[in-house]
Amino acid sequence: MKKWNLVIDVAKCFGCEACTVACHDEYYGNEFSGYAAPMAKHGQRWIDIMQRERGQYPMVEVVYLPVTCNHCDDAPCVKAAKDGAIAKRPDGIVIIDPVKAKGQRHLVDACPYGAIHWNEEQQLPQAWPFDAHLLDQGWTRTRGSQVCPTQAMRTVHADDEEMQRMVGDEKLEVLHPEYQTRPRVYYKNLDRFFKVFIGGSLAGELNGVTECVADARVTLQQGGRTVAETRSDAYGDFKFQGLEQNGGIYRIEITDARFASSSVEVELKESAYLGTIFLEKRSFAR
């Protein structure tokens, strides 16, 4: 049967928090019997946006990561719940029963992702229920994916085989696969948040004037092996994404028919901007 999944493209999210606000608007002050009790006004973000800054001026990236209940197929919270207080529906959605879960504060710690919140006033553990009450009425998208201006958040209704094909085709990942909880929230371009980059700018003398060097071939090497290759853009900038933090020593090789070959070595710890690399005019032997 078809099941509900969420796909989030980290590269498209710019931290507007429309999904967070839509979630709060839907659940604060509203009770949905069998699905969710009202959300607390303060202190809870059932859909939250994490933020990370990378690089150095002027090559700086701010990356955003929406996080929420992962609706895991092997959910630790379901196992920890007493009296069936948390259930996994056949369509993949995990629901915390707002009646049966009363007083079960230990369920907050049962989630390794920190996606279950404690409502002190109601003495109730709560998490985002995938807008199940809306989907059961015929909606095809969650409110978060509906309001996302860049479509960074997509609601996908597919059987497991189709979903796994999408995972392979789009190179989707899940948060903390080592937890082995089999989440139904998938991420595209997840390395933008968890990994680092090396970047720089190229300049050289052209027609008697120092200009940006566009379309130069730039290769990234490590241990004598080419790891990646790119071309400098119209502003002379280049960037290599998806590198491991504390990844060791890399060598940047720059080649352009108009200039002498150049190279730079860098020990990568955090995202690194190499500054402006000035290329020397190529000398031609007579």
The span from the first CA to the last CA of the chain, in angstroms, equals 74
Strands (E), 150-286: 153-158, 185-188, 196-206, 209-212, 217-222, 225-231, 237-243, 248-256, 259-268, 272-279
> Which pLDDT belongs to residue 167?
98
When the pLDDT of each residue in the chain is averaged and rounded to a whole number, the result is 96
CA distance 218 to 201: 11
Strands (E), 97-216: 117-119, 124-126, 153-158, 185-188, 196-206, 209-212
CA distance 280 to 131: 60
Are the C-beta atoms of residues 212 and 201 closer than 8 Å to each other?
yes
Number of neighbouring beta carbons within 10 Å of residue 217: 15
Mean pLDDT of 70-76: 98
Cα 75 to Cα 40, 115, 133, distances in angstroms:
24, 12, 21
Domains in the chain (CATH in brackets) are 3-193 (3.30.70.20), 196-279 (2.60.40.10)
Encode pLDDT of 181-196 as tens digits: 999 999 999 999 999 9
Indicate the pLDDT class of residue 286, thresholds 50, 70 and 90. low
> Which pLDDT belongs to residue 193?
96
203 pLDDT more than 80: yes
151 pLDDT more than 80: yes
Indicate the pLDDT class of residue 43, thresholds 50, 70 and 90. confident
Indicate the pLDDT class of residue 171, thresholds 50, 70 and 90. very high
DSSP, collapsed to helix, strand or coil, labels residue 117 as strand
31 pLDDT more than 60: yes
